[in-house]
Amino acid sequence: MPAAHPHLDIHPDVAAALSAGRPVVALESTIISHGMPWPQNAETALAVQAEVRAHGAVPATTAVVDGRLVAGLSDAQIERVARAGTATPKASRRDLPLLIAQGRSGTTTVAATMIIAAAAGIRVFATGGIGGVHRGAERTMDVSADLLELARTPVAVV
């Protein structure tokens, strides 16, 4: 497990699993806030976590909560994110320092989830999809930060 990060909170279940060498799977939170409406978003997030547990791993849903990077949201934190919906901003790599400095919350994209997972010592992350190169990128340079993060952060993305 890596050295403690000063802005990172690791859920006790996740910390215990990492210390014991048990499998932990990181999960993103943008799907909760921006992917579907309340209450289906909370139900889905909890069901995905249950599925990870059913296969012998510990889920670690990530987010930024009140300026803290979090690896392993509690059920109450998942409900808070789900109820807030799109009022909680999506957070990618570039957004993390600002959210921390301002003490704000944000839900994590693939790139931000990878950063939090790596900081926590989590080596595997499951997602429904990653961002890519968008149409017209030769003019707009609209390339997802997810692609760059895959090249620089040592977390396997499934």
Reduced 3-state DSSP string for 73-118: CCHHHHHHHHHHHHHCCEECHHHHHHHHHHCCCEEECHHHHHHHHH
How far is residue 51's CA from residue 56's CA, in Å, rounded to a whole number?
Answer: 9
Q: Are 32 and 109 in contact (CB under 8 A)?
A: no
Predicted local distance difference test score (pLDDT) of residue 102: 98
pLDDT < 70: residue spans in the chain: 1-3, 132-134, 137-138, 140-143
- Give pLDDT, residue 5: 87
Please state the pTM of the whole predicted model: 0.92
pLDDT at 132: 65
Confidence at residue 137, expressed as pLDDT on a 0 to 100 scale: 59
